[in-house]
Amino acid sequence: MAQEYFMYKGYPLVRNGKSIYYGYMSDPYVTQLQILHSTNQNGIDIADKIKIYQISTDEKLSPIDAIVKTSERSSLFEALDLANAWIERSIKEAK
């Protein structure tokens, strides 16, 4: 049975606790969005500090060496928008 994921701009989003992984593992890079802080607004936790990592999917690299870029954003939308730009750029560069 195929598992379905949430998608954003054609790429899967997989959440594990306070980390969200974005992208296909078959691509050269994926991004990890780590929620560092959130505030409660009307009973809903809203992420307001997100660290973004672009990570190589090369299994030969150590986890530290696999991190290519990092950045920080103040909303999940901004973080996903940057993550998407990184993925799109890395795919174009790999061609």
pLDDT digits (tens, 9 = 90+) for 44-78: 999 999 999 999 999 999 989 999 999 999 999 99
Whose CA is closest to 22, among 64, 61, 2, 50?
A: 50
Distance CA 15, CA 43 (A): 20
Handedness of CA 49, 82, 70, 24 (dihedral sign): positive
Q: Where are the alpha helices (DSSP H) in the chain?
A: 63-66, 76-94
Q: For the chain, what are the domain ranges? A: 6-94
Distance CA 1, CA 33 (A): 27
pTM, rounded to two decimals: 0.86
